[in-house]
Structure 1
């Protein structure tokens, strides 16, 4: 470690347990999204659009939030649009740019998914807090 502290067996165990807990949550998230007919990326894109602190959400913003190349994000948004979950509208500031909006069906799906995810995070909070304390 950078502080000169040698990693102990307990350090490795805590890191491994934390990564395992994250993977378990990710698997949960993927399963719940699939039950709603969405891929994990589609779910994450809808969440990124809904959670944006600004109303001007572009494909570039989604690409950044999902760590995707712009052309991959464009394909993802194309699929969401084909599913009737997202719509594009011209930007009032730049006609070359399209802004994204969630359709009512996407808002309903995302609300259900987010409620379920929040419940799971609340359930996992004590374990995650304990794991984070072990990493200190």
Structure 2
């Protein structure tokens, strides 16, 4: 690898870290943890279904199953999501986004847009500083 390769990788990691730090701050300012927001975001992104399984959410969060269950428990207690038995397979639990969770994820996603655009500009512009 060349020095330029290391510089690009460093710049990418720096910009990504800046985005994530600001994202964490935005989530906390809205009363959510960053992981709660990510869970809500992944549920909101389930086009056509409006729900996800615990396993699907664990994969999207890159988390262990039991940790994802604990996160869902906290979100359920906060009135953000609810579990429902699957319609085809009653043993499979579906996690659904509730109205309160839908409002919060929408608000936080909107607040992310300026920093997301900034990140895109910096990553797409050659040598973006």
TM-score normalized by the length of structure 2: 0.91
Q: Which runs of 5+ in 1 are unaligned?
A: 1-6
Q: 1:74 aligns with which of 66, 69, 80?
A: 69
Q: Which runs of 5+ in 2 are unaligned?
A: none
Mapped pair 1:26 → 2:20: yes
Secondary structure of 2:21's counterpart equals helix
| Partner in structure 2 of residue 89 of structure 1 | 84
Mapped pair 1:108 → 2:103: yes
**1:1-136 residue pairs with structure 2 within 5 A?**
7-55=1-49, 56-130=51-125, 133-134=126-127
Aligned alpha-carbon RMSD (Å): 1.3
TM-score normalized by the length of structure 1: 0.86
1:93-112 CA deviation, whole Å, 9 max, x = no partner? 11111111111111111111
1:60-116 CA deviation, whole Å, 9 max, x = no partner? 111111111111110010000001100111111111111111111111111111111
Segments of 4+ moved more than 6 angstroms: none
Larger Rg: 1
Preserved contact between residue 16 and residue 119 of structure 2 (Cα < 8 Å): no
* Count of paired positions: 126
1:15-69 CA deviation, whole Å, 9 max, x = no partner? 1111000000000110000111111111100001110135241111111111111
